[in-house]
A and B are shown apart, each in its own frame.
Chain A
Amino acid sequence: MSLTKEFIKGIYRENPVLRLMLGLCPVLATSSSVSNAIGMSAATTFVLVCSNFVISLIRKGVPAKIRIPIFIIVIASFVTLVEMVMAGFFPALSKSLGNFISLIVVNCIILGRAEAFASKNTPISSIIDGLGMGAGFAFAMILIASVREILGAGTWLGFPLFGTDFEPIAIFVMSPGAFLTIGFLVAFLNWIEHRRSAS
Chain B
Amino acid sequence: MKEIVKFAAILMLVAVIASGALAYVNKITLPRIIAQQDGELTNGLKSVLPGTENGVIEPVEIEGEIVYYKGFADKKKMQPVGFAMLAVNYGYSSDIRTLFGVDTSFVLLATNILSQNETPGLGTKCEEIKYGDSSSWWQEQFIGKFLNELKVDKDGGQIQSITGATITSRAITNSISQSLTWLKEEITENNQYINF
Contact = CB atoms under 8 A, between A and B. Distances in A.
Contacts of B120: 29-30, 32-33, 36, 96, 98, 100
B29 A87 contact: yes
Interface of B: 3, 6-7, 10-11, 14-15, 18-19, 21-22, 25-26, 28-30, 32-33, 36, 40, 94, 115, 117, 120-122, 124, 130-132, 163-164
B73 to A, nearest CB: 29
5 contacts: A63-B7, A74-B18, A77-B19, A84-B25, A91-B40
Contacts of B163: 170
A70 interface: yes
A74 B14 contact: yes
A29 B119 CA distance: 8
Q: Is the interface of B mostly helix, strand, loop or mixed?
A: helix
Interface of A: 29-30, 32-33, 36, 61-63, 65-66, 69-70, 73-74, 76-77, 80-81, 84-85, 87-89, 91, 95-96, 98-100, 152, 155, 158-160, 170, 173-174
Contacts of A33: 120-121
A158 B36 CA distance: 24
A25 to B, nearest CB: 13
A135 B115 CA distance: 31
A91 B188 CA distance: 38
A158 B124 contact: no
Contacts of A80: 22
A17 B78 CA distance: 62
Contacts of B26: 84
A70 B121 contact: no
Contacts of A77: 18-19, 21-22
Contacts of B15: 73
Nearest to A70: B14
Contacts of A88: 28-30, 32-33, 36
Contact of B131 (A29, A30, A159): A159
Given A95-B115, A96-B120, A66 B10 contact: yes
Nearest to B122: A174
Contact of A32 (B25, B121, B131): B121
A33 B125 CA distance: 12
Nearest to B39: A91
Contacts of B18: 73-74, 76-77
Contacts of A63: 6-7, 10
A73 B18 CA distance: 7
Given A33-B121, A63-B6, A88-B30, 13 more contacts: A32-B121, A63-B7, A65-B3, A66-B11, A73-B14, A77-B18, A80-B22, A81-B25, A84-B22, A89-B32, A96-B120, A160-B132, A173-B121
A110 to B, nearest CB: 15
